[in-house]
Amino acid sequence: MEWLKEPERHFPPHETLKHFNDGVCVTYIQEKAGLSQSTISTYLTNMEKCGLLISTRHGKWSYLKRNEKTIKEFTDFLT
Amino acid sequence: MEWLKEPERHFPPHETLKHFNDGVCVTYIQEKAGLSQSTISTYLTNMEKCGLLISTRHGKWSYLKRNEKTIKEFTDFLT
DNA sequence: CAAACATATTGATAAATCTCGATATATAAA
DNA sequence: TTTATATATCGAGATTTATCAATATGTTTG
């Protein structure tokens, strides 16, 4: 969640997409997290299901970005 | 944590102490939570150790109240 | 001091979570 | 249309968490 606040500071640029408008691809997140591909895929899927992330598919890549609306609702609830 | 925001709304008055200045006794929290005495005692001890609660002993009773300072630090971190 | 009461600690078990490798599926490239 | 690449799903083991009953410790009261 923290990394996705500033993708350009935490991830290399995408080869195909020249921007981070839809977030970061699963592979980059997986490599940086240092967990297995299946683990990260499951985590990201769950985080999307519970509304914390937004997933967008471009060709064979899935890009993940923060869902600021739900995140705010959640932190507001915690506060 | 939520109950302790307004003890007078969520708990009966204490017999000995006539106020909630130091929070609520373990027994009341235990009864309201519906978990065993040992479970609640452990939880409250841990929450105190990690700074979320402040524990004050008056005679044979322990009273628990929120540690607003640490709670704020934590919610700030989450936000 | 002994009995009673409030809280703390210990030891145990069931359930949940973390994490992986293997495999499946989807998409693009050759 | 086979192969390569990216992501998803499944099944399983190890670790952690939730929770309890039993027991211990601390404190007051008779």
CATH of B3-78, one of 1.10.3720.10, 3.40.630.30, 1.10.10.10, 3.40.50.1220: 1.10.10.10
Q: What is the mean pLDDT of chain B?
A: 96
* pLDDT mean over B11-22: 95
The Cα of B40 is separated from the nearest Cα of chain A by a number of Å equal to 22
B55, containing H or E segment:
strand B53-58
Neighbours of B15 (CB within 10 A): 8
Burial label, B63 (beta-carbon count in 10 A; 0-12, 13-18, 19+): buried
The Cα of B64 is separated from the nearest Cα of chain A by a number of Å equal to 20
pLDDT exceeds cutoff 90 at B38: yes
Beta-strand (E) ranges in A1-79? 24-25, 53-58, 61-66
Going from N- to C-terminal start, the domains of chain A cover 3-78
B37 nearest nt, CA–C1': C7
pLDDT exceeds cutoff 90 at B79: no
pLDDT exceeds cutoff 90 at A13: yes
The number of CA neighbours under 13 Å toward the Cβ of B5 is: 4
* pLDDT mean over B3-7: 98
Tens digit of each residue's pLDDT (9 = 90 or more) over B54-71: 999 999 999 999 999 999
B63, containing H or E segment:
strand B61-66
Q: Report the pLDDT value the prediction gives residue A57, as an integer from 0 to 100.
A: 97
pLDDT exceeds cutoff 90 at A34: yes
The alpha-carbon radius of gyration of chain B (Å, integer) is: 13
A1 CB within 8 Å of a chain B CB: no
A2 CB within 8 Å of a chain B CB: no
Q: Report the pLDDT value the prediction gives residue A79, as an integer from 0 to 100.
A: 86
A60 vs B79, residue with greater confidence: A60
Cα–chain-centroid distance for residue A79? 24
